[in-house]
């Protein structure tokens, strides 16, 4: 089969590789019908995730059809069309039993495209298939379902739920890329009074408006702290969500927050950020970090199925599987291409 293979920082190629095979009774092999590229994949290519080694097939998001299953699989059958989650759950360890499969101790967690071969390929092996795939509801588009593999649960769980967004809150989202937009979408479910999107690119700020931001701030031209303080009578935001993963954006989020507020860090950081405890210690600020657990995926599937969430709009570009490298170029140059999420489809 063909797959997108990582060969060290800055190096990738669309290679011929061996088809995956069942290694454990809980495995399923899924024929990939649609996949996408995540900002985390770009971090991997920069060398920010050293656990990813030369020869690894990248990708952790997919929609596809099950073509074979191990003898221990009970809920998934050959021929089923499924969403492959970015998080694999063993279902029996303490973290999985507590709803925190991102920290799975039984061989799961974020492993696809990280510790084992991933989804940017014609076929993928999915461990613990009963708990790590989801049947696709009738009438829901592949574009919408694919957004539930990672970015919508991530924005919702690590941003909105960790940030404790409540009705009437002022929410500042630093970064209006796909994850930031997902955090805006998720925040809107809790009726905040004001959602403020902050980014350097006007195209992304326009997208943020269309997804529910009330105020946009281009921090190449405006001072976000001054804008947020002016909007809140000098208090600051109730919740600040960091959705980029750089020292500057994290430190900005901590400057936007009011005393007693929540800073929810979603971004993947490849270098240290300064934590200004000399300013924060006295202000009762809560800072959370996190890897998505995908525990919200069934809820979000219901919301998409009922028409309450329009996730398909996040997909701005379409490519064929054999255009994978071009898709990376477009997604990696989002400031010029306007790409939010790309959908890469077979056939």
Can you tell me which residue has the tokens 């492959």?
A: 84
Helices (H), 98-139: 129-132
User: What is the helix (H) or strand (E) element at residue 89, kind and residue range?
Assistant: none
252: alpha, beta or left? (left if phi > 0; alpha if psi -120 to 50): alpha
Q: What CA–CA distances, in Å, run from 140 to 145, 311, 343?
A: 7, 10, 15
In this prediction, residue 215 has a pLDDT band, given cuts at 50, 70 and 90, of very high
Of residues 214 and 137, the one with the higher pLDDT is: 214
Q: Is the pLDDT of residue 152 over 90?
A: yes
Q: Among 70, 131, 58, 167, which Cα is nearest to 298's?
A: 131
- With 0-12 / 13-18 / 19 or more C-beta atoms within 10 angstroms meaning exposed / middle / buried, residue 178 is buried
In this prediction, residue 139 has a pLDDT band, given cuts at 50, 70 and 90, of confident
Q: Is the pLDDT of residue 347 over 80?
A: no
Per-residue confidence (pLDDT) for residue 335, from 0 to 100? 84
Q: What percent of the chain has pLDDT over 90?
A: 95
**Count of C-beta atoms within a 10 Å radius of residue 112:** 29
Q: What is the DSSP letter of 323?
A: G
- CATH class for the domain made up of 154-288: alpha beta
CB burial of 308-343 (b: ≥16 within 10 Å; e: otherwise) equals ebebbbbbbbebebebbeebbebbeebeeeebbbbb
Per-residue pLDDT tens for 308-334?
998 999 999 999 999 999 999 999 999
* Domain spans in the chain, listed from the N-terminal domain onward: 2-150+293-345, 154-288
In whole angstroms, give the CA distance from residue 130 to residue 69: 10
Phi then psi for residue 331, to 5 deg, are -65, -40
Q: Is the pLDDT of residue 151 over 90?
A: yes
| CATH fourth-level superfamily of 2-150+293-345 | Medium-chain alcohol dehydrogenases, catalytic domain (3.90.180.10)
pTM over cut 0.85? yes
CATH topology identical between 2-150+293-345 and 154-288: no
Q: What is the Rg, in whole angstroms, of the alpha carbon atoms belonging to the chain? A: 20
């Amino acid at each position: 089969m063909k797959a997108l293979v990582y060969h060290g920082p800055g190096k990738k190629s669309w290679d011929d590789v061996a088809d995956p095979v069942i290694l454990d009774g809980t495995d399923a092999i899924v024929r990939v019908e649609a996949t996408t590229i995540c900002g985390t994949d770009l971090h991997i290519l920069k060398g920010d995730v050293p656990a990813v080694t030369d020869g690894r097939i990248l990708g952790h998001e997919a929609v596809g059809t099950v073509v074979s299953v191990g003898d221990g699989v009970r809920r998934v059958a050959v021929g089923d069309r499924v969403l492959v989650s970015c998080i694999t759950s063993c279902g029996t360890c303490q973290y999985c039993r507590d709803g925190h499969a991102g920290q799975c101790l039984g061989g799961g967690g974020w492993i696809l495209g990280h510790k084992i071969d991933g989804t940017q390929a014609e076929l993928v092996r999915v461990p613990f298939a009963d708990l790590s795939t989801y049947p696709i509801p009738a009438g829901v588009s592949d574009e919408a379902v694919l957004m539930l593999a990672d970015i919508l649960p991530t924005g919702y769980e690590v941003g909105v739920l960790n940030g404790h967004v409540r009705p009437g809150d002022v929410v500042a989202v630093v970064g209006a890329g796909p994850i930031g937009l997902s955090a805006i979408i998720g925040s809107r479910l809790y009726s905040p009074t004001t959602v403020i999107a902050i980014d350097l690119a006007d195209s992304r700020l326009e997208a943020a408006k269309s997804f529910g931001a009330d105020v946009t701030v281009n921090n190449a031209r405006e001072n976000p702290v001054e804008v947020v303080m002016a909007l809140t009578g000098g208090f600051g935001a109730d919740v600040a969500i960091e959705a980029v993963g750089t020292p500057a954006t994290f430190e900005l989020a901590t400057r936007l927050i009011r005393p007693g507020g929540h800073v929810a860090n979603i971004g993947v950081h490849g270098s240290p950020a300064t934590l200004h405890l000399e300013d924060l210690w006295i202000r009762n600020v809560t800072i959370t970090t996190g890897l998505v657990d995908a525990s919200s995926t069934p809820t979000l599937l219901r919301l998409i199925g009922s028409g309450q969430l329009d996730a398909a709009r996040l997909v701005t570009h379409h490519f064929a599987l054999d255009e994978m490298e071009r898709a990376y170029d477009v997604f990696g140059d989002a400031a010029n291409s306007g790409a939010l999420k790309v959908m890469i489809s077979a056939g």
